[in-house]
Structure 1
Amino acid sequence: MNPQDTGRWVRVGLWTLPASWLLTAWSSLEPQPDQAADPGAWARFVSTDSYQVSHLIGSTGGTILAVFGLFALGCYLAGSRSGRLALGAAVTAAAGTALLLVPAVISTFVTPAVGRAYLAGNQDIMQLEFPGSMTAAFMAGLLLAFVGTVLLGVAVWQSHVLPRWAGALWVAGAVVFYALGVVLGQATTGSSLPTQSAGAALLAVAGGWIAWRGSPQGHRRGSPAG
């Protein structure tokens, strides 16, 4: 594959960034009922076909697309002033995002089975506990994804080949999604907060801006660093 073809694939990969975050925003729009306060409502919610579809396409599919997009952004910035930072950040964010596939797959396939079992009369199913290693994997993935995503925004800001304010918007979206969305939601309601969808939407806008300015059409329209 010649360098021109490689560059074309990288630019295509950049468009998976907004796609992945749009899917994530969609999948987190409707929060789950509190499992401890109202297990019946929770079981009915997670047993629906719409729940599984949104998690399969939105959560799991969005996570897979995000990995492609992160590597594409790291490769795109590799030759810029922030190339070393961008590559390190892309690897860090992709590793964290891959770890987050573990809870995404469990939510997609295991949680509906638990809900159906509860509705069928097996109320002891709510006592099911996952091993601590799963929690550790989730926390490690969350930390790596957050740190790597923030550093990628810094790399965009410093690159001089992509809009600086797209990098700033990307960092803001990461803070809102991970810190004020996922972490705060788990610490309070145990479910997604509106800030999670809002943060994903900000990242989708920033990702679309980056992908557009990284394309030949967007690059010809003005200074990339504007």
Structure 2
Amino acid sequence: MSSSSYLVSHLFGSTGGTILAIFATFALGAYLASSRSGRMALSAMVIAVAGHALLLVPAVISTFATPALGSAYLSGVPGVMQVEFSDAMTMTFMLGLLLALVGNLLLGVAVWRSATLPRWAGASWIVATLVFYVLGVVMGMATTGSSLPTQSIGALLIAVSGGWIALSTFQRHTVVLPNLQARTGV
């Protein structure tokens, strides 16, 4: 925990990943806004982004406080291991987790119902969300007090789902634009 590799991996993995998730969620919500599931997508976007923003708090604390605590312990300050975060931190984490879970599940449903994106990409998003949050974060906190490997698997599945969605939008627009240009002469 006191190594620079811990700091770098958490800075890019936890904090950077959460920031990337916020931008991706905005993009997906905006894309789906004019689809059949537009209202659901926009609501899901707001819920998921609020959850991700709240999850930035513990991600940043873990990224910067944990290495400092580890260094203090290794420097001969054993009492540092008695540091406890307030209940407000736990409640912030739990609320962020709930909002991110619900928002991402609803985004998956919105993709499924959109009629503009592949239905199975929405189903994949839902499965990825459950694997990441329920089987990774929640089960990890309940059993080991830490993340489980299923969280990394869920993150990979979310990335694959997001890539599938992005690819399908790119393919759809590269087909639509030339046809539109041919008809309008633009």
Q: TM-score, normalised by structure 1?
A: 0.76
Q: Is 1:147 equivalent to 2:102 in the alignment? A: yes
Counterpart of 1:52?
Answer: 7
Counterpart of 1:157?
Answer: 112
Identity of aligned residues (%): 67
Counterpart of 2:38?
Answer: 83
Shift of 1:196: 0.5
Q: For residues 187 and 93 of structure 1, what CA distance do their matches in structure 2 show? A: 23
Secondary structure of the residue that 1:100 maps to in structure 2? helix
Find the partner of 1:62 among 17, 20, 28: 17
Q: How does 1:3-152 map to 2 (within 5 A)?
A: 46-152=1-107
Determine which structure has more spread, i.e. the larger CA radius of gyration: 2
Q: Which segments of 5 or more consecutive residues in structure 1 lack a partner in the other structure?
A: 1-45
Aligned residues: 176
- Select the structure that is richer in helix: 2
Counterpart of 1:187?
Answer: 142
RMSD: 1.2
Shift of 1:218: 4.8
Q: For residues 195 and 61 of structure 1, what CA distance do their matches in structure 2 show? A: 19
Amino acid at match of 2:25: L
Deviations 1:147-193 (A, max 9, x none): 00000000000000000000000000000000000000001111111
Q: For residues 136 and 53 of structure 2, what CA distance do their matches in structure 1 show? A: 19
Secondary structure of the residue that 2:15 maps to in structure 1? helix
Q: For residues 65 and 169 of structure 2, what CA distance do their matches in structure 1 show? A: 39
Q: For residues 158 and 221 of structure 1, what CA distance do their matches in structure 2 show? A: 22
The 4+ residue runs of structure 1 with deviation greater than 6 A are none
Find the partner of 1:198 among 147, 153, 158: 153
Q: TM-score, normalised by structure 2?
A: 0.92
Amino acid at match of 1:85: M
Q: For residues 21 and 175 of structure 2, what CA distance do their matches in structure 1 show? A: 27
Q: Which segments of 5 or more consecutive residues in structure 2 lack a partner in the other structure?
A: 177-186
Q: Which has the higher contact order (CA 8 A, sep 6+)?
A: 1
Shift of 1:126: 0.6
